[in-house]
Amino acid sequence: MTATGIMDKEINILTLGLLKMRLKSIFPLFLAFLVAMNLSPVMAQENETTEPVLQFDPTDPENHLLLDLSTGGRVTIVLYPHIAPNHVKRIKTLTRQGFYDGIIFHRVIEGFMAQTGDPTGTGQGGSQLPDLEAEFTRNVHVRGTVSMARANEPNSANSQFFIVFQPRFSLDNKYTLFGRVKSGMQYIDAIQRGEPPKSPDHIVQASIGADNKPAPIIEIVDRSLPGDDELSIID
């Protein structure tokens, strides 16, 4: 290799080294600039694809649906406004109107769920408010999950809801899940089975925790009549 060739190679090496040093000194400043402008690569990508997440406090009584049941006690359901804001708003509205007070559990299937929220008790009724657009999520239906009932049309939920006795993952992303039982599941388990039940249980009083409504006095009906233990309510 000639002297000129050797010199050119040394110059290229020196130039590359200076360039690397310059990049190392500039890169931290560049990142700081992006962070200051809220435009870092990761944040910019998230801002393009992610909607704002609502704040959710499971201990806030405003997020507690209280159901005093004819089975003898109070059920506390934690509502999920962060994943189903419109459905939670509907439940709160109807509850504060007294809509659910006295409504029966008209469809109760062993090992599956207990459904209520229909003032006609037939499964065909609802409130005077318009139907809701679905808010399906990937959250799973486990024991105590509370979801909105609907017709075949996804955007047909109105006032009816159901509480599952056992996990039922086939419902995931098909029904709007808006809460889960925190306490009192034993009173759900005690609901009379049937479609409809022979002697249906009902919601004595529904309220929102923040409203501080006292639990009503519940008179438990004795269903242990002669021969009833031999009857099968469900086909």
Render pLDDT for 21-80 as a digit per residue (tens, 0 to 9).
665 666 565 555 444 444 333 333 334 344 445 678 999 999 999 999 999 999 999 999
Domain assignment present for residue 225? The answer is: no
36 with 140, same domain?
no
Structural domain including 177 reads 61-212
Higher-pLDDT residue of 52, 91? 91
Task: Provide the number of structural domains found in the chain.
Answer: 2
Burial of residue 139, with CB atoms counted within 10 A of its CB: 0-12 exposed, 13-18 middle, 19 or more buried = middle
Contact (CB, 8 A) for 212 and 206: no
Structure tokens at 121: 């008790």
45 with 104, same domain?
no
**Secondary structure (DSSP) of 103-143:** -B--EEETTTEEEE--TTSSSS---SSPPBPP---S----T
0.75 exceeded by pTM: no
How far, rounded to the nearest angstrom, does the alpha carbon of residue 56 sit from its chain's CA centroid? 11
- pLDDT grade, residue 20 (50/70/90)? low
196-227 per-position pLDDT tens digit? 999 999 999 999 999 999 999 988 766 654 44
